[in-house]
Amino acid sequence: MTEIDDRKHIELEAAAFRALVNHLRERTDVQNIDLMNLAGFCRNCLSNWYQQAAEDSGVELSKQDAREIVYGMPYDEWKAKHQTEATAEQTQAFAKSHPDH
């Protein structure tokens, strides 16, 4: 493997993050509950991690602002445009895989 210095490593991670966020913005057909059931995280988790990273770096970022970065629009707007009601199967799968929620 090629040696990668810290700066390049961070640049590559940032590019991968941007690609993931863009992919999730384009795939509005994939619901957060689907992501949670299949991967154990969703867009909200990603925005929470972003907010925590900002806080860890001394940058104040609200939950709403972090979500807007991930969703590409205000969260309430995204929900109104793209979120559907969870099916009984999705809800059951979520409850089974995330008993603490």
The domain of 32 spans: 6-94
The answer to whether position 57 is within a domain reads yes
84 phi and psi angles, rounded to 5 deg: -110, 165
The answer to whether position 101 is within a domain reads no
Model confidence pLDDT, tens digit, residues 53-78 = 999 999 999 999 999 999 999 999 99
Residue 100: its pLDDT value, please?
Answer: 78
- Provide the number of structural domains found in the chain: 1
Q: How far apart are the C-alpha atoms of 88 and 66, rounded to whole Å?
A: 30
pLDDT at 19 over 80: yes
pTM of the predicted structure, to 2 decimals: 0.89
pLDDT at 1 over 80: no
The answer to whether position 33 is within a domain reads yes
Structure tokens at 27: 């795939």
- C-alpha 32: how far from its chain's center? 9
The answer to whether position 1 is within a domain reads no
